Amino acid sequence: MRKEYPDDSLILHTDAYQVNMIETYWHDGIHNRKAVFELFFRKLPFGNGYGIFAGLERIIQYIQDFRFTDSDIEYLRDEFGYEEEFLAYLKGLKFTGKIRSMREGELVFGNETILQVDSTLAEAQLVETALLNIVNYQTLIATKASRIKQIIGSEQAMEFGTRRAQEMDAAIWGTRAAFIAGFSSTSNMRAGKLFGIPASGTHAHSMIQAYMDDYTAMKKYAESCVRRKNKAFIPLVDTYDTLRSGVPSAIKVAKEFEGRVKFDGIRLDSGDMAYLSKEARKMLDDAGFPDACIVASNDLDEYTIMNLKAQGAKINVWGIGTKLITAYDQPALGAVYKIVAIENEHGEMLDTIKISGNPEKVTTPGIKKLYRIINMINQRSEGDYIALDEENPNDEDHLKMFHPVHTYISKFVTNFEARDLHHDIFVDGQLVYELPDIFEIQKFALSNMDVLWDEYKRSLNPEEYPVDLSQKCWDNKIAVIQKVKEQVANLK
């Protein structure tokens, strides 16, 4: 019979190759050398012009819990036969290094570092898989949610996706990511409990079916709303016949319960939602409920919403599930985690590079900083600027920005502020960052949109936002490439 182990830590939420590599380093005695890794993606998802970073809260939890439990060690011993001495080393392992990261809700673009891990080689390597797992999913969903929110504008977006999410973790962290990007609520009560996101909802068709008719069900539901704190009454009107039975019953019950429930509106979940919403709007207005909203749901995404708006649909609250929470049109973000510097046997840090036949896949060596160059006249961003650690663009009074591949595309920027986008999260293994509450993170994410020109925000064919290398960073990259080439040429 298979031996069972308790699920009591996340440290083995990693690829087996990470542990194999660490064993290699440990045996060779280089596991405690300093190493710096950077996490970034190359291409924005959904053809969008910007991304929204999410995932830091879970990363903090993960790093704080970063240790091998007895059962982890037992599993490694039983299944892989690692040496006892190595297992003893693992047992004592904790995260001792530094993590710098963007704040959640930050705007992020291709080929720029979201997060930098500066620690021992072993520690920095071991966290790779989990960090990518967290950032790839949450950033993808935050970006999808932001795309949808851009189309919705100031109207409310409710997150309804839990039942369709790729399992429970995805539902919880996905809905949090959606809230960061500007959604107003979650249907998931656990997410409400854990993160403080407003949890709210309407009801399902099953309730109408259980009572066999719209009016009876809505009346019973209204009675229940009276007993609840917020008194919100939003009946679903499309179970039998939206305009003949659903909306009239909703109006009748709302009148009967006037003053006792808050008739926030009705929900439409099928049929021609442009037509039905316009007709329902007239009926609600004529009945004296001009403030009652029309909530729409059913396979919505930014495209359908845009289309409904173009048809003049009278929808003012949008319930969005499947297509958001599963990132339906692009189910993965390709963030990677690359080593950029490593300590040698003399204690010096050496820059490292990964060369590829594909120029886009050549990494940028060296420990770097990332700045957003804000034009102080219009408060808009001129682009992002990757500089070597020792550089500070704020010391310059005019900054040359040039395309990192097509270098002849360049501009000089004056009267700017270079904002360092990375913040210390862990220093010497200790958490030094206080995570803002979820409302502050959302506020930050929404305010970031103001620094972007509209050209980067449109959902179709946005302009490419500049992510440039400083001259020194670019020169360093070329020099390291040259060095590697010479090294390879000298091989016999």
Ligand X SMILES: O=C(O)c1cccnc1
Q: How far is the CB of 272 from ligand ATP (least distance, A)?
A: 5
Site for ligand PRP in 244-303 (CB under 6 A): 269, 297-300
Q: Segment near ligand ATP (CB under 6 A), from 61-69, 223-231, 294-302, 407-415?
A: 294-302
Pairing of strands 430-431, 423-427: antiparallel
**393 contact choice in ligand X, ligand ATP, ligand PRP, none (CB below 5 to 8 Å, kind-dependent):** none
Q: How far is the CB of 202 from ligand PRP (least distance, A)?
A: 8
Q: Which residues, at least 6 apart from 45, have a Cβ–Cβ distance to it below 8 Å? A: 51, 140, 143, 144, 327, 330, 333
Residue 64: count other Cβ atoms within 10 Å of its Cβ: 14
User: Judged by CB under 6 A, does residue 205 bind ligand PRP?
Assistant: yes
- CA pair distance 196, 212, nearest whole angstrom: 36
Provide the 3-class DSSP secondary structure of residue 70.
helix
User: Judged by CB under 6 A, does residue 300 bind ligand ATP?
Assistant: yes
User: Judged by CB under 6 A, does residue 323 bind ligand X?
Assistant: no
In one-letter notation, the amino acid at residue 29 is G
**Cα separations (Å) of 137 from 48, 104, 140, 469?**
16, 13, 5, 27
Quick one: 272 exposed, middle or buried, by C-beta within 10 A (0-12, 13-18, 19+)?
A: middle
Q: Which residues, at least 6 apart from 207, have a Cβ–Cβ distance to it below 8 Å? A: 217, 221, 236
**460 contact choice in ligand X, ligand ATP, ligand PRP, none (CB below 5 to 8 Å, kind-dependent):** none
Instruction: Residue 174: name the closest of 211, 144, 210 by CA.
Output: 144
- CA pair distance 221, 204, nearest whole angstrom: 11
User: Judged by CB under 6 A, does residue 322 bind ligand ATP?
Assistant: no
Q: Output 111 or 187, the one with its CB closest to ligand X.
A: 187
SS (H, E, C) 144-181: HHHHHHHHHCCCEEEECCHHHCCHHHHHHHHHHHHHHC
| Residue nearest ligand PRP (C-beta atom) | 321
User: Judged by CB under 6 A, does residue 202 bind ligand X?
Assistant: yes
Pairing of strands 398-402, 232-233: unpaired
Among 55, 321, 365, 466, binds ligand X (CB under 6 A): 321
**201 contact choice in ligand PRP, ligand X, ligand ATP, none (CB below 5 to 8 Å, kind-dependent):** ligand X
Among 119, 146, 175, 187, binds ligand X (CB under 6 A): 187
User: Judged by CB under 6 A, does residue 307 bind ligand PRP?
Assistant: no
User: Judged by CB under 6 A, does residue 201 bind ligand X?
Assistant: yes
Q: Please report, as ranges, the residues that interact with ligand ATP according to CB under 6 A.
A: 270-274, 298-300, 304, 307-308, 311
Q: Please report, as ranges, the residues that interact with ligand X according to CB under 6 A.
A: 160, 187, 201-202, 267, 297, 319, 321
Q: Please report, as ranges, the residues that interact with ligand PRP according to CB under 6 A.
A: 160-161, 163-164, 204-206, 269, 297-300, 319-323
